[in-house]
Amino acid sequence: MAGNADQMPELLLASASPRRRELLTQLGVQFTVVPANIDESILPGELPESYVRRMAAGKAEAGRRSAGGRPALGADTAVIIDDRILGKPRDRADALDMLELLAGRTHQVISGVAVADGTQVLERLSTTKVSFGPISAAEREAYWATGEPRDKAGAYAIQGYGAVFVRHINGSYTGVVGLPLYETAELLRCIGLNPGSGPADS
């Protein structure tokens, strides 16, 4: 696909996440949001990296098929600790348990991004280490009360109130938010898009 502005393919963002929309807007590419609903169940014995890759690719393909076959970008983010994948909390108790598990420790955040254009599915992974300070029971309860942990992997948002728990990060900040921009830009160049060429019209 050609990379000039006149022939640039319209990109689909296969995600309803406002955070991913905001991040993709930073790259200055044109895109349309088409949420992709797929089964996000973890397969028996599935490794975290494999799970995140499968989810990102599955969302990209679902988005492409649902909107006339145009190129689609999918992404997925998982929080990993003790070889356990922490997705979005089921409820208050699950969120408090996740925060207690992460408190005072270092965990990994793996973000996968994939682009499907009908002829191929290209993928990239971003892995970041995030270290939390201690979190008291009262702080966990207060954080849950903000509403922020409800739809976040690992029950926290580094771009929101959850940032107060973060002592150190080693890797991609945008990957922890949900869309690693360096890897995303690499993939977009592969399908003829030119990140940074101008503001997105979404």
Residues annotated as catalytic (active site), given as ranges:
76
Token pair of 30 as six digits: 């044109």
Of the candidates 183, 167, 187, 165, the one whose C-alpha atom is nearest the C-alpha of residue 175 is: 183
Looking at residue 64, its amino acid is R
Of the candidates 99, 12, 24, 19, the one whose C-alpha atom is nearest the C-alpha of residue 62 is: 12
**Strand 72-81 versus strand 11-13 pairing type:** parallel
Token pair of 120 as six digits: 């191929």
Sign of torsion over alpha carbons 138, 144, 147, 149 = positive
